[in-house]
Structure formats: C-alpha cells, structure tokens
Amino acid sequence: MDTLALEAKNVGGPDSEKKSAPRPRPKPPKKAKRIVYFEVEILDLKTKEKLLLLDKVEPTSTVLDIKALFHKSNPKWYPARQSLHLDPKSKSLRDEEILQTLPVGTTASFYFSDLGAQVAWGTVFLTECVGPLLMYLMFYFRLPFIYNSKYDFTTSKHWVVHLACMCHSFHYIKRILETLFVHRISHGTMPLRNIFKNCGYYWCFAAWMAYYINHPLYTPAFYGQQQVKSGLYTFLFCQLGNFSTHVVLRNVKTPGSKVKKIPYPTKNPFTWIFALVSCPNYTYELGTWLGFTVMTQCVPVAFFTIVGFVQMTIWAKGKHRGYVKEFRDYPTLRSSIIPFIL
C-alpha cells in the first residue's frame, strides 16, 4: 500500500508540488467621461431681451447647430437668416465654430440679429448676368420706343457695333455657365434686399452702354480697325485668363468645405499671374472691360470700368488681407489686384 502511494506521488512529478499561479484580476471597467453640458441663452442684439434659453447643449455643438435649435423655437428665423455674436459689437460667428472652443463659460450668451430674408448666391449671380444680357440685346435689335421710330428693328452700319454685341453677350453667357458648372460658392445666401442693388448696378450700366453703342448716330473708334482689333484681342485674352483663374479657385475648394487653401499657378500660362496677384480673376476682369472700352470708345463703358475697378479693388484687398492673416507662409511677393502696385 505504501509502495503504491509512493509511485502515485512520483507520477505527478515535481511540478505537481508547485501551487498553481493565481489568475490576474480583471481590470475594472473605465468610467465614462463626464460630459459638461453648456447652457446657452440667446438675447436680442438691440433690446437685450432674452429670446431663448437652451439647456444641456453639447460642448461639440457648432454655431450652426445652435442656430438650428433656435430655429425650432422660432420658425421664421431660419439658420441662414440668423447672425449670432458673442458681444453686441463683435463680428458675427461663423457657422463652423465649435461651442467649447469659444471664449465662453458653461453658461454662454449669444446676441441675435436678423439678417432679413435670404436668397441663394447662385440665384443672385444668375440674375445679375441674365439681366444685362437681355437688356443689351433689346438695344441691339432696336426694339420700338428706344430710338426714333424709323430705326425700329434696323441694324447698325458699323461692324464694330455687331462685334461689341457678340463680345458683351459672350461675357455674360460665360458668367452664367461658370455659375452653373464652375463656381463653388462658399457663402450660401445673401440678404434679399441686396439683389435689387446688385441687379440695379449691372442692369442699368448695361442699358446705358447699349444705348450709346447701338445708337443710330454712334461714331466708331477714332483709330479705326487697329484700335478695334487691339481692344478685341485684349478682351479675348482676359476672358480666357479669367476663366482659367476661376478653374484654379474651384479646384482649391473641396465640395461642401469652407476650408481655405492658397491658390497657386498651374501649367496653364494664364494662371502664372497667381505668382504676383492674390485675385487675378479681378485683374483679368479689369482687363476685359479695358479692352471693351478701347474697342467701343464709349464713355459709359469707360465709366463702368472705373467704377468696377474701384469695387474690385476693395474686394481684392479684403481677400488679400484674409490670406495674409490666415496663412503664415503666404507668398510675400503677391499684391492684391495689380502686380507690384496695388
């Protein structure tokens, strides 16, 4: 009996004498991070009256999310119509800004102002371009009640008048097609009241130019064909350049994104001006109307060119400042609209 017990002990071997290692204790589950919700109050910018109090707003909510919540309580103020400010005198907040990154505490106050009825920028561009196109053609075909009745539905004897009509129509048809198929508009809407101002500007100038260019007593350019051809070549060159820069600006924008990128020249020679100018689309636009002015030798066209140059310079300077402020590596050689000058 003792022998059997001894043999059984030897079969187990020396490892059997060791105690089995204790199993590791399971780690306790991680505690979920506590979300600190925000309390957001929306005040009227003018009266400081409290319009809405939002409780338990997630810290990752964007300004657009807050606008959507405000819209639920006030359906007449859709997000595009709202402008929210951190201070009555501060700039309007961008839709993509995140609540927890703003300089506010867990109780945040936003000041609301009504931007008025809005209209899509695409609609604005199309309205601005279709109007001048039709307005000019009315004068070109000399519809009744525009000039003396004996000139109704007659055509001009000067070939430059027909050339000017083709160029003017080409310019605005190009702009319409670019609006539909090229441009990526970062700003979704604009106040409806502005469309009347914008359309009034383009439509009235188109009518003023067309009236004199298509007038029965119109006098062609002083230097004849040489002047007309110089203006035409400048016009066509700048139209191609303007289209090329619009393609570059489209490609630097990701669909649906508002992230800005620096536009650079491409293999297309018309885009090389990006090395010297921040807004070459305005530079080419200016050249387009300078060429049209030379070709037609018409005072209203020259006046339209000057006014357009002033306005485009303001826009170009604003965009140039935005580029310099946002990008530390922005090319220092670039000017706003005219290389080395402006």
Indicate the domain borders of the chain: 39-116, 118-219, 221-342
> Which CATH number does 39-116 carry?
3.10.20.90
Give the pLDDT score at 121: 84
pLDDT less than 50: residues of the chain: 1-2, 4-9, 11, 16-18
**pLDDT of the residue at 55:** 85
The predicted structure's pLDDT at residue 194: 86
Q: How many CB atoms lie within 10 A of CB 92?
A: 14
- Residue 145 CB partners (closer than 8 Å, separation 6+): none
φ, ψ at 43 (rounded to 5°): -115, 150
Phi, then psi, of 273 in degrees rounded to 5: -65, -15
* pLDDT of amino acid 17: 47
The pLDDT of residue 305: 97
